[in-house]
Amino acid sequence: MNLVSRVVVASLPLVPRAAVRRIASRYVAGETLDQALETVRLLNAQGCMATLDVLGEDVARKEDSERTVSEYLRAFDGIAMHRLDSNVSVKLTALGLKLDPHHCRRELARIVEAARRHGNFVRIDMEDSSVTDETIRICLEARETYQRVGLVLQAYLKRSLEDARRAAAVGANVRVCKGIYQEPPEIAFQRRDPIRDSFAGLVDFLLESGSYVGVATHDPILLRRALATVERLRLRRDAYEFQMLLGVAGDLRRRLVAGGHRLRVYVPYGEAWEAYSMRRLKENPAIAGNVIRGLFSAG
Ligand SMILES: Cc1cc2nc3c(=O)[nH]c(=O)nc-3n(C[C@H](O)[C@H](O)[C@H](O)COP(=O)(O)OP(=O)(O)OC[C@H]3O[C@@H](n4cnc5c(N)ncnc54)[C@H](O)[C@@H]3O)c2cc1C
């Protein structure tokens, strides 16, 4: 982290809560399911699909994971009732992965069962490297009961190509992203170019293997590289999708949609918006810079 980034991160606690809320409102759909569904409706009207994320991770008590699961069940009902084009993204630590993996599996099974009832899809987000093995294991296990469960691989992790081979072997649906947590150099690429090469390599490998890939990035260079692969392999539009975060890179998003590509927007919502925003901001000084810039442009 360079000096400017360190100063930006150190300044975050000084930013007034109201200002954080105002800036976070660009990245978070709101506190309630109704607000999130309205955001999805607007995105669908713009030709984008969505994935709903109930905010909250790393629960301290099992009861908290039960609340999260109930919210996901309501989300599936709301998506179906309003005929929206959205699936869900779930963090296993929000289902108690670190407290008790068996509890987490049972909680995930309830979400997967709801997805099956609605003919919908569940994406398991990838968190920090302390839970990579367990997350992949639980995700692949869940696929044995219902295939429409997908995993995420992070390009900064040196292990990811090996994980991609396992995923491709069972035809899993994979989101590829750079990775947002701070990881040590022994296990993770630290510099921009090796991360980009790893990202492009994962996307190429998975698409060549016939896996459905969610290309999750706003990086124009990586988007160009993915588009070149799609062209080279003459892929149908339903063999892959692009994915972006709510509130980020609207222009790129619109261009991809206009080009006829499938594009899904990640829509986080829930009461834990503040903790989520602050954590994301601290983890990624580049994003923190956006907050400080936002403070000056938010008027
Ligand atoms: C749909 C989706 C799902 C994700 N799921 C996971 C996951 O499960 N696990 C995980 O570890 N990470 C996840 N991420 C985060 C990802 O790993 C990156 O940290 C994040 O997307 C930024 O990387 P980038 O590829 O866009 O490249 P960057 O080089 O970081 O960004 C490229 C450009 O995009 C813009 N940009 C990027 N992020 C922001 C932002 N927040 N605000 C404003 N501008 C921004 C900037 O202009 C930047 O120059 C996900 C990202 C997306 C889009």
- Over the stretch 139-184, which tens digit does the pLDDT of each residue have? 999 999 999 999 999 999 999 999 999 999 999 999 999 998 889 9
Cα distance between residue 299 and residue 292, in whole Å: 12
Q: What is the predicted pLDDT for the residue at 297?
A: 42
- CB proximity list for 57: less than 8 A, separation 6 or greater: 91, 93, 94, 127, 276
Please, which pLDDT band fits residue 12 given cuts at 50, 70 and 90? low
Q: 59 pLDDT exceeds 90? A: no
What's the whole-number mean pLDDT along residues 206-212?
A: 98
| Residues 39 and 75 sit within 8 Å (Cβ to Cβ) | no
Angle between helices 285-297 and 17-24 (to 10 degrees): 100
One DSSP character per residue, 170-207 reads TT--EEEE---S---TTTB--SHHHHHHHHHHHHHHHH
More confident position, 7 or 177:
177
Active-site residue, selected from the candidate residues 123, 175, 196, 264: 175
Q: What is the predicted pLDDT for the residue at 51?
A: 98
Q: What is the predicted pLDDT for the residue at 9?
A: 65
Token code pair at residue 57: 């991770």
Q: What is the pTM of this model?
A: 0.92
Q: What is the predicted pLDDT for the residue at 203?
A: 98
Q: 295 pLDDT exceeds 50? A: no
153 lines ligand 1 (CB under 6 A): no
Residue with CA at minimum distance from ligand 1 atom 46: 218
Q: What is the predicted pLDDT for the residue at 7?
A: 67
List the one residue out of 78, 80, 26, 92 whose CA is nearest residue 268: 26
Residue bearing tokens 């979400």? 111
Q: What is the predicted pLDDT for the residue at 296?
A: 45
Please, which pLDDT band fits residue 68 given cuts at 50, 70 and 90? very high
Residue 181 CA, closest ligand 1 atom number: 11
Residue 286 CA, closest ligand 1 atom number: 30
Q: What is the predicted pLDDT for the residue at 58?
A: 80
Please, which pLDDT band fits residue 98 given cuts at 50, 70 and 90? very high
* Gyration radius of the chain's alpha carbons: 18
Active-site residue, selected from the candidate residues 53, 58, 125, 163: 125
β-strand partners of 51: 87, 266
Q: What is the mean pLDDT of the chain?
A: 90
Q: What is the predicted pLDDT for the residue at 286?
A: 62
Q: What is the predicted pLDDT for the residue at 226?
A: 98
24 lines ligand 1 (CB under 6 A): no
Q: 201 pLDDT exceeds 90? A: yes
Backbone angles phi, psi at 223, to 5 degrees: -65, -40
Please, which pLDDT band fits residue 95 given cuts at 50, 70 and 90? very high
Burial of 66 (0-12, 13-18, 19+ CB in 10 A): middle
Token code pair at residue 284: 């990624």
What's the whole-number mean pLDDT along residues 188-206?
A: 98
Residue with CA at minimum distance from ligand 1 atom 32: 219
Angle between helices 160-169 and 192-208 (to 10 degrees): 10
- Give yes or no: 280 in active site: no
Please, which pLDDT band fits residue 289 given cuts at 50, 70 and 90? low
* Helix, strand or coil, per DSSP, at residue 157: strand
Q: 43 pLDDT exceeds 60? A: yes
Please, which pLDDT band fits residue 124 given cuts at 50, 70 and 90? very high
Of the chain, the percentage scoring pLDDT greater than 90 comes to: 76
What's the whole-number mean pLDDT along residues 246-257?
A: 92
Q: What is the predicted pLDDT for the residue at 298?
A: 35
